[in-house]
């Protein structure tokens, strides 16, 4: 099995697309969906109150993460006080010949959200050499956006 360690390209940058909010789901080039207990969310500023989510998580330098935070902080129209768990899911094709799915789960806490990132292979091409998943944990601080 090929390790994804040491690979230079960012999988997220390979699939970065414009953001489109459709009902309660966020679609980025058809690959990213966000579920927040049925409430809409956005990586773009919302009208009215908005909150910037600041991620503090250890990253293994040789790993590649398909994260909503790859291009900066995430902005949402609500904070953690609603008690709802937030999930960001992205799917991307990686240079190992496989399609990966990453899920970032934000669980409300007293100081923001607890953060968990997990990823798994969805499918691989016949001649692929699958890499290894790189999970991570951390904390998300919620800051009113100015």
Query: Per the domain annotation, does 2 fall within a domain?
Result: no
Asked if 1 and 131 count as a contact pair (C-beta separation under 8 A), the reply is yes
Give the C-alpha distances (Å, rounded to integers) separating 111 from 21, 77, 92, 103.
27, 18, 31, 21
Count structural domains, the chain. Answer: 1
Name which of 92, 91, 88 is nearest 140 in CA terms.
88
pLDDT digits (tens, 9 = 90+) for 54-93: 999 999 988 889 999 999 999 999 999 999 999 999 999 9
> Is there a domain that residue 116 lies in?
yes
Residue 38 belongs to domain spanning: 11-144
Nearest to 11 by CA among 99, 70, 92, 104: 92
**How confident is the model at residue 47, as a pLDDT?**
53
Helix (H) or strand (E) holding 34: strand 32-35
């Amino acid at each position: 099995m090929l390790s994804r360690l040491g690979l230079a390209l960012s999988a997220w940058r390979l699939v970065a697309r414009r953001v489109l909010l459709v009902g309660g789901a966020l679609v980025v080039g058809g690959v990213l969906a966000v579920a927040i207990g049925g409430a809409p969310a956005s990586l773009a500023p919302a009208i009215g109150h908005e909150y910037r989510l600041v991620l503090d998580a250890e990253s293994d330098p040789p790993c590649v993460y398909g994260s909503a935070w790859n291009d900066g902080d995430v902005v949402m129209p609500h904070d953690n006080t609603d008690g709802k768990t937030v999930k960001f899911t992205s799917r991307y094709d990686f240079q190992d010949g496989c399609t990966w799915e990453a899920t970032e789960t934000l669980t409300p806490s007293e100081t923001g959200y607890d953060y968990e990132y997990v990823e798994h292979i969805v499918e691989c091409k016949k001649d692929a050499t699958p890499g290894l998943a790189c999970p991570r944990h951390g904390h998300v601080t919620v800051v009113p956006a100015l």
